[in-house]
Structure 1
Amino acid sequence: MKAVFLDRSTIDPSIDLSPIKLAAGELVEFSLTSTEQILDRAQGAEIIVTNKVILGENELAKLPKLKLICVAATGMNNIDLKAAEKHNVCVKNVEGYSNHSVTQHVFSYLLSVVSNVPAYLKNDKQNPWSQSSKFCQIDFPVNELFGMKLGILGFGNLGQSIAKVAEAFGMQLLIAERADSEVVRPGRVSFETMLAESDVISLHCPLTDSTLRLFDSDVFAQMKTGAIFINTARGPIVDSLALVEALKSGKVSHAIVDVLEQEPPSSDHPLIQVDVPNLTLTHHIAWGSLQAQRTLIAGIAENIRNSIN
């Protein structure tokens, strides 16, 4: 079978794609593919591998040989699933491949914030220790994660991975119930309680109709003043203008944002234009450790084998 990878450059060049080639039989790679190039490049292929290339009714209706779309990610928002079903095209993603990578990312940047790492690195250059009159240079506040309350919205495999590491640091967990839920399940707290009591909030929920722009100005207003806000889930879950105002007012003491509504963002995006020191943009890299990418490729190959068989 012929497989076409439409956006191979979204995967590190050092990652070996031979598992996909072995599973499919033939693999053609393209660095990036525009909408206008999809039909020409995918014509005759039984399998399409795509990370973020959008495939809708217009494309799927004109690719009669296509049998399988392998999404090189967990989210499948770039595929028109109804159109795929209509044209008898199976769509497979890879779940769980980036759990360790995202968890490490969240705590790497969270620790950087609470330990004031950027300020100390800068201070080391500007005020050398050798010139200090004191044995230590505690010039900026350092806080501990121990005892902080971590609110987690989205408690699947990734949320549970975050919780496990948080408990190792001695953090208290507030597992939030869905915002639209009338019932709070055992072991969870209401969405409103999570907002009001959390020192840190980390999002790990999917993008759905109920989570679209969930974090708007009203929700930020309900948060504990001075909380740290982390989004490694999906950009559209957050109203970026509302986040800007929360950062400027100090309602949110620091935001670590890995995902935006549009990627790459336009130059006039609110979080690109804003000049505030309490914002860290990480350019959608949380998923991408080399180990996670290898696991992803192995998962795609497995999806191909299972679909062929």
Structure 2
Amino acid sequence: MVKIVLLDGYELNDDLDWDKLRSVGDCTFYDRTNTANEKEIINRIDGAEIVITHKTPINDYVISQSKNLKYIGIMGTGYDVIDLESASKHNIEVTNVPTYASDAVAQFTFSLLLEVTGQVGLHNQLVHQDHWSQGPDFTFWDKPLYELKDKTLGLIGYGHIAQKVAKLAHAFEMNVVFYNHRPKKIKGNWLKQVSLDELLKTSDVISLHVIQTPQTINLINKTTLAKMKSTAILLNTSRGKLVNESDVADALNQDQLYALATDVVTKEPIQKNNPLLKAKNCYITPHIAWAPFETRERLLSITISNLQTYLSGSIVNSVIERKK
């Protein structure tokens, strides 16, 4: 029976049924693996042909020490935790789960935007703290509130998630523009493809939807921030390293950027010295855009399906093929 090791199942396993994975092979499950401890990772992989990982990195050294390893299944879309060049060199197949969370992340992107513009959380808290009951008027608001209609949303990247965000924005009667490093064919006169410079200069809301690569790390920095409106709202439900956090914190504190709403940060869990924690108008959630029950259930199902397909002699969702 094939030996399967799951390195970090905590984020999924509390309320999901893992029996289907157990039926595929001899499974060893770990809630968490120390991502900084190569020896622990190697010891846990030892003897396994199949490894399932979510965020635990598998680098060249780990791969070179894992002689039986034949397949790595990533429980997620991003594959920056795997050394793909090393995996290819050692004839190890690597798969991921694309688009499993597109609807959830698009929904959450708008949740962040609506929180910034509608301030529901703040005013709910103030009402429960008796600010309304003790006030003289039938209404009050403690921070500015904004309509989305006729505002311009700029999407950096135009993959599955961004396309769903675009449709939501259109429903709110926003103007929608996007920049993609490879031009896209588009339908609909409500959508416009523009250069990155034009997007930065004209957008009232900018939402990041690109993967983390050497080219996209620190995409938002002093230079790009200087091109943006000082009233702009920046949204990030992609990867924390797309944003230079010190530069964004400075821009927020100097009123050069109105707000940042992010579900991701450079180092997770967030560090106490992260400059965003003390920045003005900064909204941070703990990487939960992907986490609705239905989304995690779908993630597990596709992860298992990827593995079953591999064991049957075929391959789907290969990251190795995508990289070529």
TM-score interval (norm. to shorter) = over 0.9
Map residues 188-199 of structure 1 onto 2, 5 A cutoff: 188-199=193-204
Does the 8 Å CA contact 1:154/1:205 hold for their aligned counterparts?
yes
Instruction: Report the Cα distance in structure 1 between the residues aligned to 2:141 and 2:271, rounded to whole angstroms.
Output: 39
Q: What residue number does 2:11 align with?
A: 10
Does the 8 Å CA contact 2:112/2:262 hold for their aligned counterparts?
no
1:122-149 Cα deviation digits (max 9, x unpaired): 3313445444443333554321111111
When residues 277 and 239 of structure 1 are mapped into structure 2, their CA distance, relative to the original with a 3 A threshold, is closer
Q: What residue number does 1:211 align with?
A: 216
Letter in 2 for 1:244: A
Per the alignment, in what secondary structure is the counterpart of residue 11 of structure 1? helix
Q: Tell me, which stretches of 5 or more residues in structure 1 are unaligned?
A: none
Q: What residue number does 2:52 align with?
A: 49
Match of 1:110 among 105, 108, 113: 113
Instruction: Report the Cα distance in structure 2 between the residues aligned to 1:124 and 1:265, rounded to whole angstroms.
Output: 29
Does the 8 Å CA contact 1:206/1:233 hold for their aligned counterparts?
yes
Aligned-residue sequence identity (percent) comes to 32
Letter in 2 for 1:42: I
When residues 255 and 68 of structure 1 are mapped into structure 2, their CA distance, relative to the original with a 3 A threshold, is same
Q: Tell me, which stretches of 5 or more residues in structure 2 are unaligned?
A: 187-191, 313-324
TM-fit CA distance, 1:219: 0.3
Matched, 1:169 2:165: no
Instruction: Report the Cα distance in structure 2 between the residues aligned to 1:225 and 1:279, rounded to whole angstroms.
Output: 14
When residues 216 and 140 of structure 1 are mapped into structure 2, their CA distance, relative to the original with a 3 A threshold, is closer
Does the 8 Å CA contact 1:12/1:290 hold for their aligned counterparts?
no
Map residues 60-99 of structure 1 onto 2, 5 A cutoff: 60-99=63-102
Matched, 1:152 2:167: no
Instruction: Report the Cα distance in structure 1 between the residues aligned to 2:220 and 2:280, rounded to whole angstroms.
Output: 21
Q: What residue number does 2:29 align with?
A: 29
TM-fit CA distance, 1:283: 1.6
Q: What residue number does 2:307 align with?
A: 304
- TM-score, with structure 2 as normaliser: 0.88
Letter in 1 for 2:271: S
TM-fit CA distance, 1:175: 0.9
When residues 67 and 166 of structure 1 are mapped into structure 2, their CA distance, relative to the original with a 3 A threshold, is same
Q: What residue number does 1:20 align with?
A: 21
When residues 6 and 190 of structure 1 are mapped into structure 2, their CA distance, relative to the original with a 3 A threshold, is same
Letter in 1 for 2:8: D
Letter in 2 for 1:25: G
Per the alignment, in what secondary structure is the counterpart of residue 223 of structure 2? helix
Does the 8 Å CA contact 1:70/1:91 hold for their aligned counterparts?
yes
When residues 185 and 160 of structure 1 are mapped into structure 2, their CA distance, relative to the original with a 3 A threshold, is closer
Q: What residue number does 2:252 align with?
A: 247
Does the 8 Å CA contact 2:126/2:132 hold for their aligned counterparts?
no
Q: What residue number does 1:235 align with?
A: 240
Does the 8 Å CA contact 1:177/1:185 hold for their aligned counterparts?
no
Per the alignment, in what secondary structure is the counterpart of residue 38 of structure 1? helix
Instruction: Report the Cα distance in structure 2 between the residues aligned to 1:136 and 1:52, rounded to whole angstroms.
Output: 46
Q: What residue number does 1:259 align with?
A: 264
